[in-house]
Amino acid sequence: MTNKQTTLSKVLRYIRRYWVLLACSILLAAGTVALTLYVPILVGDAIDLIVGPGQVDFAGVRSLLAAIAVLVAVTAVCQWLMNFINNKITFQVVRDIRNEAFQKIQILPLKYLDAHPSGEIISRVIADVDQFADGLLMGFTQLFTGVVTIFGTLLFMLSIRWQIALVVVVLTPLSLFVARFIASQTYSMFRLQSETRGEQTALIDEMVGSQKVVQAFSYQQEALDRFDEINARLEKCSLRATFFSSITNPATRFINSVIYAGVGFTGALACIATAGALDPFTVGELTCFLSYANQYTKPFNEISGVVTELQNALACAGRIFALIEEEPQSPDAPGVLEDVAGRVDLSHVDFSYTPDKELIRDLDLAVRPGQRVAIVGPTGCGKTTVINLLMRFYDVDGGAIRVEGQDIRDITRHSLRRHYGMVLQDTWLRGGTVRENIAMARPQATEEEIVAAAKAAHAHGFILRLPQGYDTIIGEDGGSLSQGQKQLLCIARVMLSLPPMLILDEATSSIDTRTEMRIQSAFAQMMEGRTSFIVAHRLSTIRQADVILVMRDGQIIEQGDHETLLAKDGFYAQLYNSQFEPS
């Protein structure tokens, strides 16, 4: 089965959930077409009642015109209902797909999110799904009625004069051949267009999100050059896709004109040949036949356009399905972590982000409840990686990490992570009030508890200076707050939850020295009796740690308290002294 067929079968599985609405849409389409095709018969009958001057049956014409008006009104209502149902089906399918995509993002392993630009993922969930919705809606609206119209007109034409209908049947394969040829050419082009558009969205997201850095390092021209290169590729693949899709309508219109001319010519000959016969082919029947021929060929124009849109829709659907079907993180084990005192053991841990580049090898660490463990070392030595493993953002390749004697792979991630409080160098705040951001870990917290946590984090003062205080709405990722203020809110969030274990990864990196001294004292109080893991480049902030782990190349090379490590005059002493030596 080809990729296109596989994608189509997946789309049909989503549509199948709404089979009742789908059945109603098909019935309405059939009714609309049947009524539309019956109108030409009445028109033909009316024409035959107009024989010549003085030979017009006005009463018969009036009754036929009244019947035509009623049929047109009923057809309009049926068509409106069909379009309403088609819209409902389309947007319910799109809602389901977006929900599944967003749910999958929540359970994707971090290695996938680290390996794919966020803009590219956003493009799949937003732009690709929108393109898919447009194609699906057009398919529902025009494909059903088009197919029913084709078969309906053929049946009506065969019932009127089968000999002339054969002209239409013989010429029909030309339209089918053209539509099939164009469909086979456009799918791969629209898929490439969708992928390139995702790459462009990722670049825009990256450059806009980092605009200060771009301008600070005068990277504007390089960014423009990269954008121009992607834009040129997008232009090339879009033009190819548009070219093939744009020749669809002229090609099918030409064939339709040939069919119309053939019907008109053979019909005129039939009128002449059967004049005076018992079953003559009248002018009214010829008019009816020409109307049918026109209605018969019109859906081929629409269906060929629909096929082109469906190729684009299927290409976009393929990309979003690829995200939905991405391998999720390993499922949670049934175990639950309870009664945590803070004992953590790392036994012979091996880990690497990529198989060809080893990072952590045979790492052993035993942490007693209430210990403050500082992790130091040069950039890239594995400090933050240890934090990722402790939180089970990544699973170890070898060995085991245990909390209270339980392997963290044997318990649910939620039961593990709710016992950790985490403050990172990279802050994250969601759109909402200051109060909601602080209370994220404890939504049921009282106002007094929230204010107390903000005071402990030394954030209460600047919060009161905001326009609405704790009710101030901050935008995505903190809006106009400074980096230091955002970090203070993240610290207040942990101060409020106060779990038995803490992780502080450069938690005061964006805070001024005076405030940092105050927060360090608050941290010291908060860490009392709690197991704490502290990652810091400023070694002056970790002097009071119970154990300092010095890492290099993924291994612990030194271990001890501050005074002990300085006395060894080893790698830690070099790192510490280098921060205080005059430049």
pLDDT greater than 80 at residue 213: no
Average pLDDT, the chain: 80
Q: Same domain for 320 and 412?
A: no
- Regarding predicted confidence, which is higher, 299 or 438? 438
Q: How far apart are CA 193 and CA 201, in angstroms?
A: 12
Q: Does some domain include residue 170? A: yes
Q: Same domain for 167 and 266?
A: yes
Q: Does some domain include residue 331? A: no
Using one digit for the tens of pLDDT, what is the confidence trace for 158-187? 777 777 777 777 776 676 677 667 666 676
Q: Same domain for 304 and 352?
A: no
pLDDT of the residue at 510: 61
Residue position matching structure tokens 């019956």: 38
Residue position matching structure tokens 């009463």: 59
Q: Same domain for 357 and 453?
A: yes
Q: Same domain for 479 and 428?
A: yes
Partners of 374 in beta bridges: 534, 548
Q: Does some domain include residue 334? A: no
pLDDT of the residue at 151: 80
Q: Does some domain include residue 184? A: yes
Q: How far apart are CA 476 and CA 492, in angstroms?
A: 18
Q: Which domain holds residue 265?
A: 3-324
Last residue of a domain, one of 261, 292, 324: 324
Using one digit for the tens of pLDDT, what is the confidence trace for 440-459? 878 888 999 999 988 888 88
Q: Same domain for 303 and 377?
A: no
Work out whether strand 501-505 and strand 420-423 pair parallel, antiparallel, or are unpaired. parallel
pLDDT greater than 60 at residue 46: yes
Q: Does some domain include residue 309? A: yes
pLDDT of the residue at 478: 67
Using one digit for the tens of pLDDT, what is the confidence trace for 79-110? 899 888 888 888 888 888 888 888 888 888 87
Q: How far apart are CA 260 and CA 209, in angstroms?
A: 58
Nearest alpha-carbon partner for 348 in 331, 367, 373, 365: 365
**In the 8-state DSSP scheme, what is residue 478?**
G
What percent of the chain has a predicted confidence (pLDDT) above 70? Answer: 89
DSSP string, 116-133: S-HHHHHHIIIIIHHHHH
Please say whether the beta carbons of 381 and 540 come within 8 A: no
Sheet with strand 344-351: strands edge to edge: 360-367, 344-351, 398-403, 406-407
State which amino acid sits at residue 133: A
- Alpha carbon 509 to chain centroid distance? 33
Structurally, how many domains does the chain consist of? 2
Q: Is the dihedral of CA 380, 384, 389, 394 positive or negative?
A: negative
pLDDT of the residue at 180: 67
Please say whether the beta carbons of 304 and 108 come within 8 A: no
Query: What is the maximum span of the chain, computed from C-alpha positions, in angstroms?
Result: 125
Q: Same domain for 407 and 306?
A: no
CATH of the domain at 89: 1.20.1560.10
Q: Does some domain include residue 333? A: no
pLDDT of the residue at 183: 64
Q: Same domain for 392 and 513?
A: yes
Q: Does some domain include residue 335? A: no
- The three-state secondary structure class of 391 is coil
pLDDT greater than 80 at residue 141: no
Last residue of a domain, one of 265, 290, 324: 324
Q: Same domain for 14 and 57?
A: yes
Nearest alpha-carbon partner for 321 in 572, 3, 46, 536: 3
Using one digit for the tens of pLDDT, what is the confidence trace for 500-531? 888 888 766 666 777 677 667 777 777 788 88
Using one digit for the tens of pLDDT, what is the confidence trace for 455-470? 888 888 888 998 888 9
Q: Same domain for 212 and 300?
A: yes
pLDDT of the residue at 221: 86
Q: How far apart are CA 44 and CA 397, in angstroms?
A: 80
Last residue of a domain, one of 291, 324, 357: 324
**Other C-beta atoms lying within 10 Å of the C-beta of residue 389:** 21
pLDDT greater than 80 at residue 143: no
Please say whether the beta carbons of 89 and 22 come within 8 A: yes
pLDDT of the residue at 304: 62
Q: Same domain for 373 and 320?
A: no
Mean pLDDT along residues 408-431: 84
pLDDT greater than 50 at residue 583: no
CATH of the domain at 424: 3.40.50.300
Q: Which two tokens stand for residue 578?
A: 């280098």
Nearest alpha-carbon partner for 120 in 201, 232, 228, 229: 201
**Other C-beta atoms lying within 10 Å of the C-beta of residue 124:** 23
Q: Does some domain include residue 100? A: yes
Q: How far apart are CA 547 and CA 481, in angstroms?
A: 35
By CB neighbour count within 10 A (0-12 exposed, 13-18 middle, 19+ buried), where does 278 fall? Answer: exposed
pLDDT of the residue at 511: 67
What percent of the chain has a predicted confidence (pLDDT) above 90? Answer: 2
Q: Which two tokens stand for residue 534?
A: 């502290």
If pLDDT is split at 50, 70 and 90, which confidence band does 301 have?
low
pLDDT of the residue at 174: 72
Q: Same domain for 315 and 355?
A: no
If pLDDT is split at 50, 70 and 90, which confidence band does 305 have?
low
